Every structure is written in C-alpha cells, then in structure tokens.
Structure 1
Amino acid sequence: MNYYVFSITYMAIFGYFGHFAKISKNTNIILILLTGIVVNIPIDNISINMLTYSFFGEMSILTFALSLMLLFESFKIQKIQNNFMDIKAFIFIFIFGLILYLSVLNIIPLNLYYQSPQIVIIICCLLTFLAYVINKSLGMIYFICLLSYGLKLMESNNLFDYLIDVPVWIFSILYIFVIIVKKIVSKK
C-alpha cells in the first residue's frame, strides 16, 4: 500500500461527519469525492496524504478495513450506529495496542513485536480468535489481516503491522473516552 490509501480514511471521516450533520445523500457523496480529490492535491509538492504517510507510516489493514466500513456506513439513509464495532471491540484494540506498544518501548520485558515470525503468527492467530469471540466483525477484520499478511499486501514483514497502527489505537482511546463521558453525563 502507498500513501494514496489514506484518501479512503479521509473520505470516510468526511462522509461520516456529512451524514452525521444530516446533509442530503447526494451532497454527502459530493463531499466524499471532493475530499478524495483535495487530499491528493500537492501544495508545495506535498499533499495531505503524503504528509499523513510521512507522519504515521504505512496504514494497517485494520485501519483500511475500518475506513472502508465507515465509508460504506455513511451511505446508509438512517442514522449511523456502530453496529459493526461495539465498545468491547475498542477496549480489545486498546488493550492489545497498549501491550504491544509498551513491549516495543521495552517498558514491559516481553518484547512481542520482535519475536520470530512463527511465534508472531501464533500470537496473532490467537488474537484473531479472541477478537472473534469478543466481536465477530473485529475477528473477521483480523482474519482478513492474516490473509493480507499471507499475500504480503504491505511492505512490512511483521504481522502486527497488519493488525494495528497508532491512528486506530488513538481512535480506540478517544472512542472509549467519549463513551465514558456520555455515560457520566447521562447519569446527571
């Protein structure tokens, strides 16, 4: 994958907010298409996609799949609901990312990221099974990530790069925070 795939993420974000703002479906489609064009226009020889790629690196298959799902979800007529991912899925992503990133930073002594490929595959297969038990959609996306690893769709040789990246992990933190704040506010 290259930096052009970040267009899907930007299109999904603007499509979601367009749908959330209850603009018409045709206007939302135009907004989505314009977003896909604008993020690829170079200004001083760098586009928003290039800048995003230089900041985050290669997009994980998980981010790509979630962006596609959100983009397709924004075309629905009724109000968007997170029926494909619930709070348990985002808590799973948060805990998985926390453990992985703490091990990469050598804060916890078990370094998961730099294990042999066979051990990483076993760990990721177990994570996929656990994700499927927790949330079927997340489990299926992780299964697609495993297949993508087998097809070598990304430049990375580490399976963890297919399963998680920093933007999804940060989004999971924000999502959990928003849900907690909503519950606290609704109790008052």
Structure 2
Amino acid sequence: MRKLILVLFTGLLLTSCGKDKKNEVEATQEPVAVSDKYSVIIDGIYEKDDSISVVYQKDNFFLYDKPIWQAVKGSAMAQRITFDIPEGQKVENLSICVSKNKDQSYITIKNVTVKNGANLVLDGDNNKYNEYFATDPSFSWDLKNARFNLNHSNKYPPSIVGNDKLLGLLTK
C-alpha cells in the first residue's frame, strides 16, 4: 500500500511540475509581429554603366527625398537588380528611375517583380509589368529590337510609375 501511495505521489509531483514548465514557456513566448519587408526586383539589360533608383509612396506621398539607389554595371547580358525597401514601411505605390546615364540610349526591361517578404505581390515576368506601370514621355518603344529608347533631354530622368492597378495590389 505504501508503494502504491508513493508511486501515485511521485507521478502527481512529476506531472504537476511539467505543467508549470510548459505554462512558463508559453508565457515567455511573445507573438511574432508581421512587418512589411518589400523588395523590388528588376531584370533588365543595361549596356552601359548606370544608376537606377526606386521611390515608394507612403501615406499618399512619394518619398522623393529618400530614393533607394543601385549601381548597374554595363553588360549585354540580362542582370537582376534588387531593391530592398526599409523594413516596416508600408508601400502604396512605386516610382522607378530606370536610368541616370545620359549616354544610355536604350534599355530592355524584361521583368519588374514586387515581393513582401516571401509573398509575391506582382509577378511582372514576360513584360506583364507593363499592365501595372506607366512610362513617362522619356520612353519610346523600339518594336524591331523589343526595347525602350530613352530620351534624357526632359526635365526628369526616364522613369516608370505604378498605375491604379499596382496601387490596388499594394494597398489591398
């Protein structure tokens, strides 16, 4: 009888101690906050060295005083340029300055993709990005060579800006 009581008491003691530890672990774990971590990925051909930038819209205003710049090494091969928006910033729209080099007379943009962390917001592959971005007057389409001709003589460098369709994707 003593052995039975001792076994029951030991089992009760071990079981209750385990529950306390489990409750302590659960109490110390805080929920993980999901934050915005946007990135813009451009696949394009830049035959000359250049620099390009992304500006994002937040609270209905483009943050032109905080562009995110990337240098591009000239190459006849397609290259991937990735822009990381500062973490925690809610992006409403995008403006991309595609060239600052006045000697860059044309570019080929094959893809503009937008991600939020691992989530794909816009898959702009195979020129699908054209549905989501508007070009400014600095662009003309070269149908024969399937690329954009650039005009650097305007007030601002050649840029593409997200239209209402992109705004809808980013603000939903």
TM-score, normalisation: structure 2 = 0.24
- Between structures 1 and 2, the one with greater strand share: 2
Structure with more contact order per residue of length (Cα contacts < 8 Å, sep ≥ 6): 1
More helix by share: 1
Larger Rg, first or second structure (1 or 2): 2
TM-score (norm 1): 0.22
